[in-house]
Amino acid sequence: MSVGNEHLEYPQRRYGMDHDRYDWSMLPQRPAVTWPGGARVALWVVPALEWFPLNMRGVPFKPPGAMQTAYPDLRHYTLRDYGNRVGIFRIMQALERHRIPASVAVNAAVAVRYPTLLQACVQRGWEVIGHGLDMDHLHHAGLPVDEERALIAQSLAILRQASGQPVRGWLSPAKSESGATLDLLAEAGLDYVCDWVNDDMPYPMRTSAGTLYAMPHPIDIDDHTILVQNHHTETDFRDQLIDQFNQLYRESATQGGRIMAISLHPWVIGQPYRIGVLEEALAHMMRHKGVWAATGSEILDAWKFGHSTAAA
C-alpha cells in the first residue's frame, strides 16, 4: 500500500508552528533591544512555591516533582514541603546579598496554606506570578473551557487578594496548556505567560482577548532538570548557569539586550549543600557591568517600551 501526500496537506502548514498565535521570527533578524541604563543583560530569577497534594490524581499526567510511590508517599511529600519551610529562605538570603529581586511563581494553594510565606515574598518586593491552583490541577485539552476559566479565576483571585498585587504573569503547572489557555489568561487580565520555551526574548501572542506576551522561562537550565532529572552535579549546575550567562553576555555586545532567566525550586536548590553554587553563579553574573536584575513585569515593560520607541 502506497502512502500519498495527503498527510502533508492541512490549513496551517507554514514556517513556524502550526497555529496563528504568533508570527514566525528569527531572533538575529529582530531589532536590537536596549535595557534601562544601557544594561546588556536582564537577570530574571523565578523561584516556584508549589504544593503537591499527598493524594495526587495525576490527570492527565504527573507533573515534575509529583508523588512517586504508593499513598501516602510521605518521603517525597515532605521533601517538597522542605522547600516551602526551609529552602526558600536560603534563596531569599542569596538574592538579598546581591540585591536581586525575584518573580515568584506561586500555587494559589500555597497562599492559602502558608500566608506568612507569601507575605515574606511580598515584603521583599518580589513580584507574584500565578502558578495555578496546585500541582495536581493541570491545564490540558481534556479540561472543559468553563472549568479551566473557573480554575484560572479562582487561582488569580486568591493570589491577588493575598499579595495585594495585580499579578500580571502566569506559569502553568508543569507548563501544561489546553488550546484555550492563552485566550483565558488574556481574558483574566494577565500580561505574560511563561509556558513557551522557544525563544530567548519576549514576543507577542495572539488571543481572542488581545495580546499576551510570551516570556523566556527555559527548562534546560532549571535546577530540577539539571540536578534531579539529569543527575548532574552541583558544580555542573553552577557551570551551566555561568556558561548560559556568558554566551548571552557575548551576544549582547553586538545583538542588543538579552534575558538571563533562572528557574528555581526551593526543595532542590535550597538544600544546604547546594545553595552555595547558586550564590557563586549569581556573584559571577553580578560582577559584570551592564547586568540589570529585575522582575518579569519590569523586563516586559522595558521590552515593550523599546519596541514602541523603535517603531516611532
Q: Which domains does the chain have, with CATH numbers?
A: 33-311 (3.20.20.370)
Instruction: Give me the phi and psi of 293, to 5 degrees please.
Output: -85, 125
pLDDT at 10: 64
**What is the per-residue pLDDT across 182-200, written as a single tens digit (0 to 9) for each?**
999 999 999 999 999 999 9
Q: What is the pLDDT of residue 106?
A: 98
DSSP SS3 for 229: helix
- DSSP-assigned states of every residue in 241-265: HHHHHHHHHHHHHHH--EEEEEEE-
HSE value, Cβ hemisphere, 13 Å, CA-based, for 191: 15
SS (H, E, C) 146-204: HHHHHHHHHHHHHHHHHHCCCCCEECCHHHCCCCCHHHHHHHCCCCEECCCCCCCCCEE
How high is the pLDDT of residue 187? 98
Distance CA 110, CA 133 (A): 9
What pLDDT was estimated at residue 14?
A: 64
Q: In this model, does residue 12 exceed pLDDT 70?
A: no
Q: Give the residue-averaged pLDDT of 57-74.
A: 96
pLDDT band at 234 (very low <50, low <70, confident <90, very high): very high
Residue 32 sits at φ, ψ, to 5 deg, of -65, 145
The whole-angstrom separation of Cα 270 and Cα 273 is 8
Q: What is the DSSP string of 92-119?
A: HHHHHHTT---EEEE-HHHHHH-HHHHH
Residue with cell 499576551: 212
> Omega before 173 cis (within 30°)?
no
At residue 302, does pLDDT exceed 90? yes
Half-sphere exposure of 26 (CA within 13 A, CB side): 3
pLDDT of 18 strictly over 90: no
User: 248-273 pLDDT, tens per residue?
Assistant: 999 999 999 999 999 999 999 999 99
> Mean pLDDT throughout 113-119?
98
Give me the chain's average pLDDT, please: 95
Kindly tell me if the per-residue pLDDT of 39 is higher than 60.
yes
What are the Cα distances from residue 238, in Å, to 65, 135, 265, 309?
Answer: 21, 27, 15, 37
Cα 55 from Cα 71, distance rounded (Å): 7
Give the mean pLDDT of 118-147: 98
Question: What is the pTM (predicted TM-score) of this model?
Answer: 0.94
Half-sphere exposure of 89 (CA within 13 A, CB side): 9
Mean pLDDT of 232-259: 98
d(CA 152, CA 190): 10
Please give the pLDDT value at position 5.
73
pLDDT at position 310: 57
Whether residue 312 has pLDDT greater than 60: no
